Structure 1
């Protein structure tokens, strides 16, 4: 992904700011709160002349993504390694919860975050990474000892997590085409506000009036004579039956609540942490074409208007900072398209693909593939690091364009990325011996009353579900897919696309 390196600097606040919209969530009464305070100012609200600790500005915990570095895990070790990676996610989630519920202690003690949160987290992560080493070496695999250095975590302050200050990228990849035009709009200045209904986002700087963003969508690669120009649409509904869970069967098989956020599921109806390939074949489908048993799933979008939903007191929901009313898309289009450079081969049975990155707040935008826009603007503006505020009469649109190059051998990889790739953005050609497969595209439309930003506060904010430490940033949007077909459907899709027809 390209990056816009132009960053807007915001002057440091001259007074301490305590944005203390705190909400007691769940039966355990976990308090999520954000305090944005200058490190050297006094504040009578704290009961006298006190010097704020620098840690009071800490917004989240940033830990290296170990899973992305594991590219050569033996098949016999993958389930055990996946379970340990899920423990790393749980450790970060627990550490963030402690960070969010100890703001006063942080303000009183400059060393609190390091001594009570980050230090113990490092010890837990070191032990977990060592168990990963043991799992890999036990079956004869090799372990890169430098991965042990990934145990250490750091913290990000409020400025470092403000939209437009890190990454600064407005466009993303649409159909493999990189969009880097248009300057990122920063509506929030220094990150202020209540950090959303749960205290962990979104904030004012995460939103932009789409009518004020310069066009940034570039043209697609020119079609060559060997292009596959057809398309295949599968109609699978909008998850009106509310098929949800917080599992992550691709990344964390066998681990309940492995995603730490809620997914919408369409297509295959029996997808959870304990599903297997055999389960998928028996799962039934919401798709009109009953030969399409594929699993299509994505994080839910919620409106944060003070309302609650069924998971307010549940893991992955309110207990982990994913709050508000869940929105069902008013439209959900699933479409397979061809390659501008070549014919496509059929997708292999049980192929797994994850597009985007749920952890861009701490990982950076290298694997970001989020696209946010509004109806009437999709051909002009696509946003990655901000949510659009759409004009009246226009709806919010999320689109996904999956990797469409396959290594020809593997249905998954250790880090769930290296077996598939995006084509070259200029030519559309797959490189390094990869083969073109049908490009899965998804378009989700939501009817959302436009949020308003007044004095750094967001009213009626909306946000995508995510890991609590990722602060509900729009760039963390991602989508998951498992290809499961019967009756020769995979070949029918490829043949339709290769012959230039429009099928369903």
Structure 2
């Protein structure tokens, strides 16, 4: 009996000792994780909580993100003039300006199947059902805000007035430093154009596309920065910074999509490889084919003296260089054929 008691006591000591060791290790790992999180916070300027900042000073944008547009020189024509073999037509699709208030924090193109995968809020025109869980079938069956029945989805990050309280539905949904009243678009233009040196071929149905770089502020280069900001009174001037516009002019955003398709894929692992931008003269890279060039133009009535901030990932600090947009082509093959015929025929439809 004495030996059994001694063995039992030894076993209890071993168990207690193991539990104590596990507790110490657990506490150490938790402390290490907290220190790592604190270090990440210090690097990114964000907080652990879901509390959002009330203004632009703590999380951006900064003074260097703004420019007086009168200090920006006029730029070259975009696209270049159409040559004799090009497709000079244009097609405008009237999809409204999101009067329906279609907002969410999803990104079907980049993060399909992941709710709130964008970590910031997108505004939409076109397909009224688009969210992270959309499929080709659900998109094809959904209602649309576009006249003529185009069920394509067009979307971009919202622009906010960070010093004004969020009071409407979804204005408090994004978190991650994206706070304040959403500034609604005063106008939205969806336009397809041709190629200056060649005829275009149809986009495949359910083609996914994106333009711009949502991580441009930390990317180390601006190779994928595509969005341009401007003022309504100076359409020949544009910048990658927030423009300070003269009184009475609207602030504008222009988002042009890549228009050279690899002829095979409707999507790619990096969301870019299947589509590329033409060269300076409009010529598509070898192995790609020109498709209709999508341009989304947005305009805003910014209250005098109001602060503005583009929704972004927290570490991007609302940099205007991170502006971007996404598109899913849900036109029927017949509708896309009409677009191509108009562009190649040099008409304005």
TM more than 0.5: yes
Contact 1:196 1:203 survives alignment (8 Å): no
Change (3 A) 1:220 1:251: closer
Structure 1 segments unaligned to the other structure (5+ residues): 1-111, 122-152, 158-193, 452-459
**TM-superposed deviation, 1:442:** 1.1
Contact 1:195 1:201 survives alignment (8 Å): no
**Which of 416, 440, 463 is the matching residue for 2:294?**
440
Residue number in structure 2 paired with 1:481: 327
**Which of 240, 246, 263 is the matching residue for 1:408?**
263
Q: Across the two proteins, how many residue pairs are aligned to each other?
A: 309
Give the structure-1-normalised TM-score: 0.58
Change (3 A) 1:207 1:450: farther
Query: Is 1:502 equivalent to 2:348 in the alignment?
Result: yes
Alpha-carbon distance between aligned partners in 2 of 1:313 and 1:264, rounded to the nearest angstrom? 14
Change (3 A) 1:270 1:195: closer
Q: Secondary structure at the match of 1:332?
A: strand
Contact 1:202 1:461 survives alignment (8 Å): no
Alpha-carbon distance between aligned partners in 2 of 1:118 and 1:437, rounded to the nearest angstrom? 48
Change (3 A) 1:224 1:114: farther
**Which of 414, 417, 422 is the matching residue for 2:272?**
417
Query: Which residues in structure 2 correspond to 1:352-363 (within 5 Å)?
Result: 352-363=208-219
Alpha-carbon distance between aligned partners in 1 of 2:120 and 2:57, rounded to the nearest angstrom? 14
**TM-superposed deviation, 1:262:** 0.6
Contact 1:195 1:203 survives alignment (8 Å): no
Structure number with the bigger relative contact order (C-alpha 8 A, sep ≥ 6) is 2
Q: Secondary structure at the match of 1:475?
A: helix
Contact 1:238 1:266 survives alignment (8 Å): yes
Contact 1:198 1:322 survives alignment (8 Å): no
Give the structure-2-normalised TM-score: 0.83
**TM-superposed deviation, 1:197:** 4.1
Alpha-carbon distance between aligned partners in 1 of 2:78 and 2:123, rounded to the nearest angstrom? 31
Alpha-carbon distance between aligned partners in 1 of 2:322 and 2:206, rounded to the nearest angstrom? 25
Q: Secondary structure at the match of 2:58?
A: coil
Contact 1:322 1:465 survives alignment (8 Å): yes
Query: Which residues in structure 2 correspond to 1:205-216 (within 5 Å)?
Result: 205-216=64-75
**Which of 285, 290, 294 is the matching residue for 2:152?**
294
Alpha-carbon distance between aligned partners in 2 of 1:282 and 1:219, rounded to the nearest angstrom? 35
Alpha-carbon distance between aligned partners in 2 of 1:348 and 1:219, rounded to the nearest angstrom? 25
Contact 2:104 2:170 survives alignment (8 Å): no
Contact 1:391 1:450 survives alignment (8 Å): no
Contact 1:339 1:436 survives alignment (8 Å): yes
Change (3 A) 1:413 1:450: same
Residue number in structure 2 paired with 1:269: 128
**TM-superposed deviation, 1:221:** 2.9
Change (3 A) 1:285 1:375: same
Structure 2 segments unaligned to the other structure (5+ residues): 1-31, 46-52
Residue number in structure 1 paired with 2:18: none
Largest Rg, 1 or 2:
2
**TM-superposed deviation, 1:395:** 0.5
Change (3 A) 1:197 1:220: closer
Deviations 1:226-280 (A, max 9, x none): 1000111100000011011101111111111000011111101111111000010
Change (3 A) 1:432 1:467: same
Residue number in structure 1 paired with 2:4: none
Change (3 A) 1:408 1:287: same
Contact 1:217 1:382 survives alignment (8 Å): no
**Which of 263, 285, 293 is the matching residue for 1:431?**
285
Query: Is 1:284 equivalent to 2:150 in the alignment?
Result: no
Contact 2:171 2:182 survives alignment (8 Å): no
Residue number in structure 1 paired with 2:232: 375
**TM-superposed deviation, 1:461:** 1.0
Query: Which residues in structure 2 correspond to 1:31-430 (within 5 Å)?
Result: 115-117=35-37, 155=43, 196-197=55-56, 199-218=58-77, 220-290=79-149, 292-309=150-167, 310-311=169-170, 313-314=172-173, 316=174, 319-363=175-219, 364-379=221-236, 381-384=237-240, 386-425=241-280, 427-430=281-284
Change (3 A) 1:313 1:332: closer
Residue number in structure 1 paired with 2:308: 462
**TM-superposed deviation, 1:405:** 0.4
Q: Secondary structure at the match of 1:199?
A: helix
Alpha-carbon distance between aligned partners in 2 of 1:387 and 1:325, rounded to the nearest angstrom? 18
